[in-house]
Structure formats: C-alpha cells, structure tokens
Structure 1
Amino acid sequence: MLHLIRTEWLKIKPYRAFWVMVGLAVAIIPAGNYIAAEITSQIVSKTKELIAVAPYDFPLIWQSIANVNSYMTALFAIPMIILVTNEFTYKTHRQNIIDGWERREFVMAKLFWWLALSVLAFLTTVITALVLGLAYGTHPLSFENFEYLFYYLLQVLLSLGIATLIAVLVRRSGLAIVLYLCYIMIVEQVLVLVLKRNFGEIGGLLPLQTGDELIPFPVIGKLLNNADHYDDGVYLLMLCLYIGLMIFLVFRRMLKTDY
C-alpha cells in the first residue's frame, strides 16, 4: 500500500491546480463559519432571553459547524473528480497497468485520496470549531455533541464517493463536475421534497439527505416538527450502507470496464 501512496504523491505533488483547489476548500470552511458566527452572535445578543446557548458556543458549536459545512462538501468533491478523470484523460491508468499494477491497486490508490480529502475536511472543521468556540463562546470547552462531526465526516465520505463514482462512469472532468453538482443541488433536493410530501419520512433516506437529517442546525432544529423523522440510528445505518455501496460500485466499474 505504501508504494501506491508514494506513486500517487509523486503524480499529484507538482499539480498546482489541485493544491489551489484544496487550499481554497480549506480556507472557505473557517471563512464561511466566521461569517455564520458573526451573524448568529448578533442575533443572540438581541434575543438573549430566548436563546440560552449561542449556536457557536460550546457545546452546540460542534453541531452548528457540522451543519454549515455539510453544504460545502462539494469543495472537496470537485478536486476528487479531477484527480480521477485526469487518469483517463492522460491515459495514466493504462500506464499503471502496464507498469504492473493490478486494477484493484489502481482503485485502492484513488480510495487513499478519497479518505485523505475527507479526513482533511474533518480536521479543518475540528480546528475551526475550536477557534471559533473559544473566540465567540462564553462557556468552557466541551466535547459534548462532538459526535456530530463524525456524522459530518461520514457525509463527506459519501459525497466524495458519489463524486468518484460519477467520475469513473463519465471519465470527463467537466461533464462529471456538472453531473455531480446537478445531483447534489437539484436532483436529490427535488426528490427529497417530492418523497417527503407524498410518503413522509422516507424522503429523508436518500443518500446525502441522511447526513442532513443527522445534523440539523441546533436552534432551528428544535423548532421544527420531528413527526416525520426516523430514529438517528436509521439514518446512520443508511449513511454507512451508502458509503459501502459507493466503494462497491467504484470497484465493480473499474474491475469490469475495458481500458
């Protein structure tokens, strides 16, 4: 496995566009949450009698930042799409096979970046939460509700899994990015609305919606009606099953397709 990671690193190391995109993704997470913290802090200061704990104060900050960041998973998915589609554009996937790699090893190398980008998003979120919680909070540091960040990590893994599957199916970066964005921004959102309106809570079991159901914004989430909502364990199970399904489909596609 180490030689796969080393080879992948040598291929990506000089790729400036990739590092610029990753750098922007890392920068946008604290920037976006800083804006959200500023806005919510102003609202809380005017409604102190209604809100006991501010969304960006401990322990609610873990849930708040997970919710906000769940809308930015595409920041890491797009570099993932480009990494995968470049293998087909520049025929390096064929060269790897010629050099003695098995197809399974090629997929494992891409799964490394899948995991690495997801962990990077997770760590960036943890650091951002600590900084903003200490800067805007009045309560002491607490890791209560930290599980919401693990829900966020699973959602990022699923989002990147969907992006990777689309990339190996389409093999063209521009089209793959468009299809991915259309799915997460339009197709699934429409399906969720239609299913929830006609069949109730089953609409919450669509892939990315499972993560959204697990990490509602804390203050607003308490005000919403939870009648059409499964137990959190159901959404967590579905989220893990979807991740497993993405890995299976990517492997199946790459092991069965013609090079």
Structure 2
Amino acid sequence: MLRLLSIEIQKIKLNKAAKVITAVYFLLIIAIALIASIEFNFAQVNFRIADQGFFNFPFIWHFNTYVAGILKLFLAIIIVSMMSNEYSYRTLKQNLIDGMSKKEFITSKFLTVLMFAAISTVFVFLVSLILGFFFSDHTELAVVFRDMEYLLAYFIKLVGFFSFCLFLGIFVKRSAFALGFLVIWQIIEGIIYGVLKWQLFKGTEIAEKIINFFPLESMADLIKEPVTRLGGVQTLANQVGEEFNKDYNVQWYTILIVLIWTTIFIYGSYAILKRRDL
C-alpha cells in the first residue's frame, strides 16, 4: 500500500499544475478566516461576519465543511488531470510493463483519493478549530466537539466525489472532456428531477426521494446548506411568516448511498481498465 501511494505522491510532486491547484484550494479555505476578520461598513453600520454566529461552536463544523465542500472542484481537477496524464505521457502503460497489475494501479489511484480527502478533512478541522476558539461565544469542550459528524460526512463526500472524477478520468481519458461530462451529469440530474417533480409525481415528495439516490445529489445531501439553521435567520423567517423545517443532521442512509456509489465508481474504473487495450 505504502509503495503504491509513494509512486502516486512522486507523480504529483512532478506535476507543477497539481501543486499550484492544491495550494490555491487550501489558500481559499484559509481565506474563510481572513473574510471572517474583515469589518464591513454599510450605511455607517459596522458589520463583521464572525459576529453573526457563523463561527460559533458547534455550528462552525457544519458551516465550514459545507463551504469547503463547494471548493472540492479544485482537487477534482487534479484527480481528473492525474488520470489524463497517465494516458498522455504513457506512464500507465509503463507502470504495467514494470510489473504493476491493473488492480494495483486502481488501488494506487484510490489511495490518492483517500489521501486528498483525509488531508483536506484534517485541514478543515484545524482551520475550524482555530476560528472557533477565536470567534465562538462558547468554547467548552462539550460544545466544541459536538456535531463532529459533519467532518465524517465531509470526508465521505470528498471520497465519493473524487472516485466519480477518477472514473470519468479513466472512462473519457481527457481531463477537459471528463470535467465537461461532470457538468453535463449535474445538468442531467437536474433534468431528471424536473421531470419527476413536475410531470410524473406532481404534488408529491416522491421525486425528492428518488433523486436522493443519484450520485451527485446524494453527495450534496450529506451536508445540507447551513445558513437557514442560524437562530437569526430562523427568527427573521418567522417574522415574515416563513418556517424552515429542514433536517440538518447527517443521515446514515445518505452515507450508505454515497459509499455504494464510491464502490461502483472504483469497481467500474477497474472494469474499464481491465477490458481496455492499452
């Protein structure tokens, strides 16, 4: 395992674009802290994001994992280009000639997926912990480490999404086309949902239940948007006659769905590689 991972790490080190994109990704997460400390002035009213409760424990775990999840496309570019380079530079064929089996090759790529997901999760944890202790109104340990399941959901979300990108990279071979297919698939899921919602199951919640089994939607469902969970937003909504009854918890069945898709993508990647003439 370590040998396979070390080979992939060496490839990433030699890829300047991968190093730049990775740096940008982590810098954008750090930028959350910088934005939090900025004080805005609107109509002579001072406003600072950190004072609105976004970085209070335990809400910060929900908020930061959601925001960081939006930025996952940066690392997805690395995963896709990583596979594209294997074909372009013929390193895949060379690895197989040198004695690496196709199963070991897919394993090495999946280990890279796990590595990126784990590093990102640890990084989000550390940034959130620092921000929380700096800005949160409550820093008791019982409060600080509540709702940590959002970090688990974030890790699984990244593993699932990167596995999908790995599958597309192997299936399409070209990074631009693979990323394009990713966007197209998002649109396809939206169209399917629209047909289910407004044509086949109009006036029911069946469409929502069906679409939740689709890959990208199930990954999105792992961490629901957190803004409407804030007390101030809830109060404002009640004042205008609106009410948010959303369940913001991480659901075990959503985790299971994403893990099943992850398995399908990894096995599908191996099946394609096994049958393809290199």
Fold-level similarity (TM above 0.5): yes
Question: Which stretch has the larger CA shift, 160-169 or 11-20?
Answer: 11-20
Structure 1: state its 5+ residue gaps. 47-53
Matches within 5 A, 1:124-139: 124-139=123-138
Is the Cα–Cα contact under 8 Å of residues 4 and 105 in structure 1 kept in the other structure?
Answer: yes
Cross-structure match for 1:9: 9
- 1:37-86 per-residue CA deviation (whole Å, 9 max, x = no partner) reads 869x747858xxxxxxx232101110111122221211111101111110
- Give the equivalent residue in structure 2 for 1:161: 163
Pairwise CA RMSD of aligned residues? 2.8
Distance 1:62 1:5, change over 3 A: same
**Structure 1 length normalisation: TM-score?**
0.85
Label 1:56 to 1:187 Cα distance change in 2 as closer, same or farther (>3 A): farther
8 Å CA contact 1:194–1:203 kept in 2: the answer is: no
- The whole-number CA distance in structure 1 between the counterparts of 2:194 and 2:228 is 19
The answer as to whether partners of 1:201 and 1:230 remain within 8 angstroms in 2 is no
CA offsets 1:234-257 (integer angstroms, 9 cap, x no match)? 212211111111111111111121
Residues in 1 aligned to 2:72 and 2:90: alpha-carbon distance in whole angstroms: 28
**Aligned residue for 2:209?**
201
Residue correspondence of structure 1 range 219-230 to structure 2 within 5 A: 219-221=227-229, 223-226=243-246
Q: Distance in 1 between matches of 2:217 and 2:38?
A: 27
Given that 2:36 and 2:49 are in contact with CA atoms closer than 8 Å, whether structure 1 keeps it comes out as no
Question: How big is each residue's C-alpha offset from its partner over 1:94-118, in whole Å with a ceiling of 9 and x where there is no partner?
Answer: 1111111111111111112111111
Q: Give the 5 Å matches for 1:95-244.
A: 95-140=94-139, 141=141, 142-184=144-186, 186-196=187-197, 198=201, 199-221=207-229, 223-226=243-246, 232-244=251-263
After TM superposition, the score normalised by the length of structure 2 is 0.79
Percent identity among equivalent residues?
26
- Look up the SS of the partner of 2:57 in the other structure: coil
Query: Aligned letter for 2:188?
Result: V
| Counterpart AA for 2:253 | V
CA shift, 1:231, in A, is 8.8
With 164-173 and 235-244 compared, the bigger mean Cα shift is at 235-244
Query: Do 2:157 and 2:258's aligned partners in 1 also have CA atoms closer than 8 Å?
Result: yes
Structure 2 CA distance for aligned equivalents of residues 44 and 13 of structure 1: 36
Q: Distance in 1 between matches of 2:132 and 2:32?
A: 14
Letter in 2 for 1:30: I
Alpha carbons 1:33, 1:68 under 8 Å: kept: no
Letter in 1 for 2:12: I
Give the aligned partner of residue 29 of structure 2.
Answer: 29
**Local SS of the residue matching 1:205:** coil
Quickly say closer, same or farther: Cα 1:45–1:73, change in 2 above 3 A.
closer
My pick for the range that moved more, 2-11 or 93-102, is: 2-11
* Max Rg structure: 2
- Structure 1 CA distance, aligned partners of 2:61 and 2:27? 18
Q: Equivalences for 1:15-54 in 2 at 5 Å?
A: 15-32=15-32, 34-35=34-35, 42=48, 54=53
Q: How much does 1:230 deviate? A: 11
